[in-house]
Structure 1
Amino acid sequence: MPSKHTVKVKPNINGITSVDIKQKKNVTLIDTDNEIVFEFGGPWGVTAMMIGFPLLMFYLWGCLQFYRGKLVLPLEGELWSQIIKEAWPTWYATKIYLMFCLYELFLAYFMPGPIVKGAPVASLNGKKLDYLCNGVMSWYVTLITSYILHRYGYFRLTEIIDNLGPLMTVSIITGFTITFTVYIVTIIQGNQYRMSGNIVYDLFMGAALNPRLGRVDLKMFAEIRVPWVVLFYISVSAAVKEYEMFGYVSATMAFMVLAHFLYVNACAKGEECIPTTWDMTYEKFGFMLIFWNFAGVPFTYCLGTLYLHLSSIDNGRPIQHSPAWTFFCYALLISGYYIWDTANSQKNRFRMTLNGTYIPRSTFPQLPWGTLKNPSYIKTKQGNLILTGGWWGYARKIHYSADLMMAFSWGFICGFNTPIPYFYPAFFVFVLTHRVTRDMERCARKYGKDWDEYCRQVPYIFIPGVY
Structure 2
Amino acid sequence: MASKEVSKELNPRTTSYEFLGPPGTLLISIGVPFLTYALYFSCSETTGGCPPPNFATWQDAVTRAVSDVNWWKGLWDTQASLIYLGWYAFCVVAWAVLPGDSVEGVPLRTGETKKYKINAFSTFLLALGITTGIIVRYGPEAFTFIYDRWVGFVTASILMSVFQATACYIASFQQGKLLALGGNSGNFIYDFYIGRELNPSIGSFDVKSFNELRPGLILWALIDISMACEQAVRRGGLQNITDSMWLVLAFQIWYVGDALYNEPAIFTTMDIISDGFGFMLSVGDLAWVPFVYSLQARYLAFNQIELGPVNVALILLVNMTGYYIFRSANGEKNDFRNGRNPKNLQSFTTQRGTKLITSGWWGRSRHPNYLGDIIMALAWSLPTGFNTPITYFYVIYFAVLLIHRQRRDDENCEHKYGEDWEKYKKMVPYRIIPYIY
TM-score (norm 1): 0.83
2:252 maps to a residue whose letter is H
Query: Matched residue of 2:431: which SS?
Result: coil
1:98 paired to 2:90 = no
**Whole-angstrom CA distance in 2 between matches of 1:59 and 1:442:** 34
Residues 268-319 of structure 1 show CA distances to partners (whole Å, capped at 9, x for unaligned) of 11001222222111010001001111001111111111111122xxxxxx21
Q: 148-157 or 226-235, which moves further after superposition?
A: 148-157
Query: Matched residue of 1:372: which SS?
Result: coil
Residues 310-338 of structure 1 show CA distances to partners (whole Å, capped at 9, x for unaligned) of 22xxxxxx212354333222211122112
5 Å-filtered alignment, 1:37-76, equals: 37-65=16-44, 66-70=47-51, 72=55, 76=59
**Whole-angstrom CA distance in 1 between matches of 2:377 and 2:389:** 14
- CA gap of 1:41–1:252, structure 2 versus 1, over 3 A, is same
**Whole-angstrom CA distance in 1 between matches of 2:13 and 2:221:** 37
5 Å-filtered alignment, 1:13-412, equals: 35-65=14-44, 66-70=47-51, 72=55, 76-79=59-62, 84=71, 88-122=75-109, 124=110, 126-153=111-138, 156-189=142-175, 191=177, 193=179, 194=181, 195-246=184-235, 247=237, 248-311=240-303, 318-353=304-339, 372-412=342-382
**Whole-angstrom CA distance in 1 between matches of 2:81 and 2:420:** 51
- CA gap of 1:269–1:75, structure 2 versus 1, over 3 A, is same
Q: Between the two structures, name the one with larger relative contact order (CA 8 Å, sep ≥ 6).
A: 1
Aligned CA-pair RMSD: 2.4
Query: Matched residue of 1:115: which SS?
Result: strand
1:390 maps to a residue whose letter is G
Q: How many residues align?
A: 414
Query: Matched residue of 1:266: which SS?
Result: helix
Is 2:158–2:287's contact at 8 Å kept on the other side of the alignment? Answer: yes
1:73, distance to aligned residue in structure 2 (A) = 5.9
**Whole-angstrom CA distance in 2 between matches of 1:267 and 1:245:** 32
Residues 221-241 of structure 1 show CA distances to partners (whole Å, capped at 9, x for unaligned) of 111102221111111111122
Is 1:68–1:310's contact at 8 Å kept on the other side of the alignment? Answer: no
**Whole-angstrom CA distance in 1 between matches of 2:241 and 2:134:** 21
1:142 maps to a residue whose letter is A
Structure 1 regions of 5+ residues with no counterpart?
A: 1-29, 312-317, 355-370
Structure 2 regions of 5+ residues with no counterpart?
A: 1-8
Query: Matched residue of 1:260: which SS?
Result: helix
- CA gap of 1:101–1:267, structure 2 versus 1, over 3 A, is same
Residues 36-77 of structure 1 show CA distances to partners (whole Å, capped at 9, x for unaligned) of 320111000111111122112111210112131126469712
1:201 maps to a residue whose letter is Y
1:228 maps to a residue whose letter is L
Instruction: Flag the structure with higher helix content.
Output: 2
Q: 195-204 or 408-417, which moves further after superposition?
A: 408-417
- CA gap of 1:120–1:188, structure 2 versus 1, over 3 A, is closer
**Whole-angstrom CA distance in 2 between matches of 1:293 and 1:52:** 16
Is 2:11–2:178's contact at 8 Å kept on the other side of the alignment? Answer: no
1:418, distance to aligned residue in structure 2 (A) = 1.4
1:345, distance to aligned residue in structure 2 (A) = 2.1
**Whole-angstrom CA distance in 1 between matches of 2:10 and 2:169:** 23
Residues 167-196 of structure 1 show CA distances to partners (whole Å, capped at 9, x for unaligned) of 111111111111111111222455262410
Counterpart position of 2:6: none
Is 1:109–1:215's contact at 8 Å kept on the other side of the alignment? Answer: no
Is 1:336–1:406's contact at 8 Å kept on the other side of the alignment? Answer: yes
Identical-pair percentage: 31
Query: Matched residue of 1:389: which SS?
Result: coil
**Whole-angstrom CA distance in 2 between matches of 1:242 and 1:70:** 20
**Whole-angstrom CA distance in 2 between matches of 1:330 and 1:163:** 31
1:400, distance to aligned residue in structure 2 (A) = 0.4
Is 1:176–1:291's contact at 8 Å kept on the other side of the alignment? Answer: yes
- CA gap of 1:442–1:34, structure 2 versus 1, over 3 A, is farther
Query: Matched residue of 1:94: which SS?
Result: helix
**Whole-angstrom CA distance in 2 between matches of 1:412 and 1:86:** 36
TM-score (norm 2): 0.88
2:369 maps to a residue whose letter is H
Query: Matched residue of 1:116: which SS?
Result: strand
Counterpart position of 1:8: none
1:402, distance to aligned residue in structure 2 (A) = 0.6
- CA gap of 1:385–1:438, structure 2 versus 1, over 3 A, is same
2:370 maps to a residue whose letter is Y
